[in-house]
Structures are given as structure tokens and as C-alpha cells.
Amino acid sequence: MDTIPLWAQLLALALLILCSAFFAMAETALMAANRHKLRHLAKNGNQRAITTLWLLERTDKLLLLVLIANILLNALIAALLTSMAISAFGHEESVIFLTAAAIAFLLIVFAEIPPKVIGATHPEKISLLSSLLIKPLMRLGKPAIWFVNLFVSRLLLLLRIKPGAQASELPRLSPEELRSIVLEGGNFIPQKHKSILLNLFDLETISVDDIMTPRAQIEALNLAAPAADIKQQLATCYHNKLPVYEGEINRIVGILHVRKALALLNTEEFSAAHIRPLLSTPYYIPPDTGLFAQLQYFQEKRERLGIIVDEYGEVQGLVTLEDIIEEMIGEFTTSTPGGNEAFSWNAQRSCQLEGGVALREVNKRLDLHLPLDGPKTLNGLLLEILQEIPDHPVAVRIDDCVFEIVQAQHQAIKTVKLISLNKH
């Protein structure tokens, strides 16, 4: 080494450290790279992404190459630095000890921690660049990889580990993991799209009775009513399809498409008998049907409206295809008579609601956490807590919110004032 100039030795040392840092950074980047993103780039013809995926499909050989290269480079760095130290300071034990400490410091600071941090911070960018160099090196180092792998594979076989058995497959993600990916999408996913995706995940956990129009708010046509009243309701009804019953709501005889009945309004001898031929068969739904399943049923049966009935055949409510779509993408229709208008906290952090409003809607709009595993409406929740219908103003506190009952009528709570104790 005495014949080699000092500057050449320092240059060789710097190059060895640089190469070691490259392999450490490339290994971290390749292992941390998002394979979904690489698949997308590869499908669009990105050659670097194709090369990177080719390497990741041979993870065992890739890791062997990186480890062999790193160990050889680190050994050369240690030998070169030790030789330089002995040439300069002699064979003293303290020189050997201090040289070993210097080697560890150089490798940790310049060849390990910073390269791996950089590789983990920009995995896709670095893996796409480094793969172009690592692939030829893998081919050149094939004999060494084969020789080392001969022993490694036998050891893994004893441990009953099969490397690369699922390397070519995308990792399977649970719904919770997919939800986390969407939530952490940041600026890559527009807020509206993110909201729709999250709502789609919720469809599996929501049933039709969570979003139904309650029985008391159903707009329906009573064939037992006077003919003049029926004509008046047809002329002023809000919906395009109406459930039609006879006498009381549990005796539904069909579904009327209002447009088909408009011509009857000019008939002088109009009666309920004119409507019966226009009715279609009602479609009934159990209340615990999942929302996603019901969406599929609507599609298969070519229906847009279903009547929700309990185990005794009692009508509980009504759900439409539009209700499910709104649950996915947000409200897009106008408010209906008897329905709940849009609501939110006012400047005093209070809000007045109808008792029939759905608890899910209250939680969503007011950012509350009311329990959803029991009653579905605000009226039902308060009656469950009070265990009686109040005949005078009363208030109930749930978490950081006070529910003040303003009006109770006809065996139900009609109006409730919410007051938030959290003023922020």
C-alpha cells in the first residue's frame, strides 16, 4: 500500500463507501416501494417499473445480491482503512482499536442510516432508478448468487420457509387496510372522491332500516279515502311513485306510477277503481337487509322502491334506489315534505331537530357519536333512555350534548333542541 498515493487510497475508500451506500439505499427503496403504484406504471408501459417488478418477483436473489455486495464492500472498506492506519501510525493495539471504531462510524453515518432513510422516504423514485443498475449486476453475479443460494435454500427448507411463493402476487388488503390507504391518500385523492370511497366501504355495515323513510313519513295513497281527496293528492304529490294501501298502511295493494294516473284527473266519474289496474306488485324487504346486498337486489329485480316490513308483516318504512345512491355519493335531491331539512350547529352551538330524524344523519351532520346499535331515530333513542313519553319539558345529557325535548305529541317526541357543551 505504500506505493499507492494517499489520494488514490482516499478516493478508493470514498468510492467503496458510496457503493455500499447505494446498495443500502436501493435495498430499502425496493422493499418499501408501493407495488400497486409500480403495477400501474408497468401497465402504462414504464420500462423502469417493469424492471423493478421483475426484481421484486425474485426477492430472494435480490436480497442475496445486495447482502453479498454490501458484505464484500464493507470488508474492503475495513481492510483498506486498517492498512492506511497501520501505514501511518504503526501496529499498536490502540491504532487497531481506533481504526475499528472509525470504520464503524463511517459505515453507520455514510453507508447505512442516511441512505436507508432516503430510500424509505422516496421508495418509488429511487427503486425505479436503481433497478436499471441492479438488474445487470444480478445477471453478472449469478454464479455467486447460485453458490450462496445453494446453502441458503437448504437452510430455509429446514425451517419450512418457501421464499418467493407469493412474490408475483399483489399483497392482499383487508377492507380496513384499504380504508386506511384512502384516508392517507392526502392530496392525491380529491375530497369528494375520498368521501364516496369511504361511503362504499360502509355499505357492508349499514342495513336498509338505517336509511329508510320511516312509516310515519311515507307519502302513500289511501284507496279508502274519498275520490276528491285522492285526486287532490295525485295532483299535489311530491313523489313519482306512491305506495297504495286500503284503509290502513299495513294493507298495501300495490305501487302506483303517478305519471300513469295523471290522465285520470280530468275524468268526471273518477273513483278508486280506476287506479287499481295501474298498480304494480309491491316489493317487500326485511329490515336487516344489508345496503350493498339491497343495491344488488334492486339491480337484479329491476326495482327502484321497496317496502320494509318486520317479521309480523307490519310496515316499518320505505327505501328507494335513490336513498342508497345518496348514501354513497351524498344528497342530491331536494327536501321532501315531512322530511328533515338540512341542519347544522348555529353560532350558539345549538340545533333544533325533528324527533324522527335518523341517528346516523345526526352523527354525520353534527359530528356526534350517538349509539347506532339500538333505536334508529332520535325519538327512539330518547324514549329508550327516558322509558316514558314526557308530558313536560325535560332534558337529557349524552356525552357532551344536552337534548332538550321541546314538544311531545301523539306518543312520540316531535321536536328536540340540541345544545353542545363543547363550544369549539
Strand, helix or coil at 308?
strand
Shared-domain flag, residues 324 and 363: no
Measured over the CA atoms of residue 327, residue 330, residue 332 and residue 337, the dihedral's sign is positive
Shared-domain flag, residues 257 and 315: yes
* Composition of the chain by helix, strand, coil, percent to 5: 55, 15, 30
Shared-domain flag, residues 245 and 126: no
Domain final residue, candidates 101, 135, 158: 158
Residue 414's CATH number: 3.30.465.10
pLDDT at 342: 64
With respect to residue 195, please indicate whether it lies within any of the assigned structural domains: no
* Dihedral pair phi/psi, residue 353, rounded to 5°: -130, 160
Cα atoms in the Cβ-side hemisphere of radius 13 Å centred on 138: 20
Question: What whole-number distance in Å separates Cα of residue 131 and Cα of residue 111?
Answer: 19
Shared-domain flag, residues 248 and 285: yes
Question: What whole-number distance in Å separates Cα of residue 201 and Cα of residue 408?
Answer: 37
Per residue in 296-330, pLDDT tens? Answer: 999 998 999 999 998 888 999 999 998 888 888 87
Whether 391 contacts 413, CB under 8 Å: no
* Dihedral pair phi/psi, residue 347, rounded to 5°: -60, -30
Specify the DSSP element, H or E, that contains 82: helix 59-89
- Would you state the cell numbers that stand for residue 355, as one nine-digit string? 324527533
Shared-domain flag, residues 309 and 253: yes
In this prediction, the residues of the chain whose per-residue pLDDT falls under 50 are: 165-168, 334-335, 338, 340
Shared-domain flag, residues 392 and 298: no
pTM above 0.85, yes or no: no
Shared-domain flag, residues 41 and 150: yes
Question: What whole-number distance in Å separates Cα of residue 105 and Cα of residue 117?
Answer: 17
Shared-domain flag, residues 217 and 311: yes
Question: What whole-number distance in Å separates Cα of residue 19 and Cα of residue 69?
Answer: 9
Number of domains in the chain: 3
Query: What range does the domain containing 16 cover?
Result: 6-158
pLDDT at 167: 44
pLDDT at 318: 93
With respect to residue 198, please indicate whether it lies within any of the assigned structural domains: no
Shared-domain flag, residues 25 and 137: yes
Shared-domain flag, residues 15 and 144: yes
Shared-domain flag, residues 212 and 314: yes
Cα atoms in the Cβ-side hemisphere of radius 13 Å centred on 363: 13
Shared-domain flag, residues 305 and 354: no
